[in-house]
Amino acid sequence: MIKTRLIARIDVKNEFAIKGIHLEGLRKVGDPNALAVKYYQQGIDELIFMDAVAAYYDRNTLHSVIEAACKNVFVPITVGGGIRTIEDIHRALTCGADKVAINTQAVRNPSFVTDASKTYGAQCIVGSLDAKQTAPNQWEAYIDNGREPTGIDAVEWAIKLQQMGVGELLITSIDKEGTKKGFDIDLIDALAPHIDVPYIICGGAGNLEHFPHLFTQHTPSGVAAASIFHYDLSSALAIKQSIKHYVEVRDD
């Protein structure tokens, strides 16, 4: 059985780790590399670095952050935000990233995802889906770090991303993100039956009870969280202990 991965998400703005609610109202929470080392030492399985302002710069600005992290952190790293060209992917991987997460450019140029998957392999390409509820049992895909609606149904887009060649999905609930009120089970209920690749759930984790509650209903291949780590509400080790009766976890 594949072991569930516990992932720390670190959103970055102007070289500072930041955190908001619903991907808005961003506030500084520390140095991204210091946080990465801390979470690595606490037993995190993977890291996601997301450029929170890539939409403004039209490029990813995390190269120095990734290079620094790779000197002290030895777990897989995904980088996202502003990944728009094959060259962007090449540079991210050269800096030390293992995977790239693509959202905005997937909507604007779907063939880019297919080309990226063919060039680097599906295992390297993560389809990042930011979803916001618009009606009962209906969610819309958003781009530009959750700022811009697309008019695309989130379930249909998850299916399309898989057809385009992504090897994994990163599903972020905008409604739950930063609230610390628990994962968006309704969103996962809607998406999970249509997903045939590994998927990561992100948004809403605020205490230990939220994790067993998720895993009694779904078995994502990974869970990403930010606030629960940034604000020292819990640790990777404690979370793994809380879910090990439901799924296999990495304990090395």
Residues taking part in catalysis: 11, 130
Alpha-carbon distances of 206 from 181, 230, 239, rounded to whole Å: 6, 11, 11
Q: Look at phi and psi of residue 81 and say left if phi exceeds 0, alpha if psi is from -120 to 50, else beta.
A: left
151: nearest Cα among 136, 134, 165, 137:
134
99: nearest Cα among 192, 5, 2:
5
Contact call for residues 32 and 12 (beta carbons, < 8 A): yes
Which burial class, exposed, middle or buried, applies to 70 when counting CB atoms under 10 A from its CB (0-12, 13-18, 19+)?
middle
Query: From CA 220, how far away is CA 148, in angstroms rounded?
Result: 26
Distance of CA 216 to the CA centre of its chain: 21
Alpha-carbon distances of 216 from 18, 113, 153, 210, 244, rounded to whole Å: 31, 33, 27, 10, 11
Alpha-carbon distances of 202 from 59, 63, 130, 209, 225, rounded to whole Å: 23, 23, 9, 15, 6
Token pair in block for residue 83? 């990944």
CB neighbours of residue 140 within 10 Å: 18
